[in-house]
Amino acid sequence: MFEALKPIPQDPILAMMLSYREDTNPNKIDLGIGVYKNDQGHTPIMQAVQWAESRLLERETTKSYTAPAGSPLFNELISKLVFGADHPALTDGRIVSAQTPGGCGALRMGAEFLRGCNSESRVWVSTPTWANHVPLLGGAGLEIVEYPYYDYDNKSIRFEAMLTALEGAKAGDFVLIHGCCHNPSGADLNREQWDAVADLIERKGLIPFIDMAYQGLGSGIDEDAYGVRMLAARMPEMLVATSCSKNFGLYRERTGTLFIVGENAEQTRNAGSQLFSKIRSHYSMPPSHGAAIVETILADEKLETLWLDELEGMRNRIQGLRQGLVAKIAASDIDADFSFIQQQFGMFSFLGITPEQVEALRTQHSIYMIDSSRMNVAGLNDQCMDYFVDALNEVLKGS
Ligand code: LMR
């Protein structure tokens, strides 16, 4: 039977990660996969995480099963982080959450849940969006429709076109929106735009599905959650997928959360029971170690403060790199405006160069980014900045 199988091309982001690892050039730069890197180009374990892990090692007494929803304490603390401790949807019992295997698990289980609610509803995703959104949501059987989002020429959001497209959605359709740090563009909705999108969603009876994988890496924990918190206060129903991969640096521990916001406490409980049953039939229950680390941090004031300080350091470093890169390019021979990079948020921006130029950066200079020219700004550092700008200059001149 297997002889009929054809190889499937690798996910472009993961393929890039492997090519980078195999490159022996000592000057190589990894601007591909979205992981945070420090000044030495290393993805460190956060100190708060290390402390929490050593505490866990001392205190953990069992490896027995948890539950499809994961750890109740994790769910409680992460809900407060995402929505804010006093959010009315939380205090009214309108939010149920499940610890999931990473943000991917949250997105997939959210899609499975939504398809179970209405198999006719479509999910609208931004153009462009994170490459894995389509297989994660489409794989659950949801029909995917696109709305325009990023204007490659003007390096900004095509906001009017986005609204016009969403006018074409029908009641009950789902709208996937990046909560902050849009992946791949770094172009985020401002508060007025969030409010206008909420007006449209409310008027048309759509259901928001927010993917917030980078809370705290854009403008701050509370600032980045503006859209999620505002929508949860206004909308009768919504879903939110979050991840601890980036803000806690727990990538390989696969720690995420899916939140369902319902119209009232009873409907929310029922929705939760549907979700937990889906989880049971997919992977039974999530892995526990990453969530145990997160709850240890969030339950301890000192550890939480340490973590927030470290996160602030990461955020400031990324913003500093954005400014530094724009300044270095402006001071170089490059005759093009890259100032948009310092107006964007989170790890990613499109450099706005052609796929051929991206390839030249890779083959001639060992600089790795996705073919779309999405670069992970956090992969830059003071040591490699000049090399990067010189290589960019060379490649731009060569074409
Ligand atoms: C990315 O976009 O690079 C990250 O979210 C990592 C991934 O799994 O694709």
Across 320-335, average pLDDT: 97
Contact 150, 157 (CB under 8 A): yes
CA distance 288 to 100: 9
Q: According to the model, what pLDDT value does residue 398 have?
A: 87
Taking the centre of ligand 1 as the mean of its atom positions, its distance from the CA of residue 305, in whole angstroms, is 27
65-299 placed in CATH 3.40.50.2000: no
Could you tell me if 181 and 143 are in contact, meaning their C-beta atoms sit under 8 angstroms apart? no
Assign 124 a pLDDT band (cuts: 50, 70, 90).
very high
Please calculate the CA angle 322-240-188 and round it to the nearest 5 degrees. Answer: 25
Per annotation, catalytic residue among 30, 188, 211, 224: 211
Residue to probe by mutation, ligand 1, list 132, 250, 348, most atoms within 8 Å of CB = 132
Mean pLDDT of 217-245: 98
The pLDDT mean for the chain works out to 97
Superfamily of 12-43+316-398 according to CATH: Aspartate Aminotransferase, domain 1 (3.90.1150.10)
**Bridge-partner residues for 150, per DSSP?**
157
Residue 271: which of 222, 244, 309, 236 has the closest Cα? 236
User: What residue spans define the domains of the chain?
Assistant: 12-43+316-398, 65-299
- Average pLDDT for 13-29: 94
From 11, 13, 17, give the residue whose CB has the most ligand 1 atoms within 8 Å, as the site to mutate.
Answer: 13
Tell me how far apart the alpha carbons of residues 393 and 354 are, in angstroms, rounded to a whole number. Answer: 14
> Can you say whether the dihedral through the CA atoms of 105, 254, 72, 223 is positive or negative?
negative
User: Is 211 an active-site residue?
Assistant: yes
Whether the pLDDT of residue 80 is over 70: the answer is yes
Confidence check: pLDDT of 399 > 70? no
User: Would you call 246 a catalytic residue per the annotation?
Assistant: yes
Q: Do domains 12-43+316-398 and 65-299 have the same CATH topology?
A: no
Instruction: Pull the structure tokens for residue 194.
Output: 């969030």
CB 248 within 8 A of CB 87: no
| 130 assigned to active site | yes
What torsion, rounded to 10 degrees, do the Cα atoms 210, 211, 213, 215 define? -10
Nearest CA-CA partner of 183 in 261, 109, 248, 128:
128
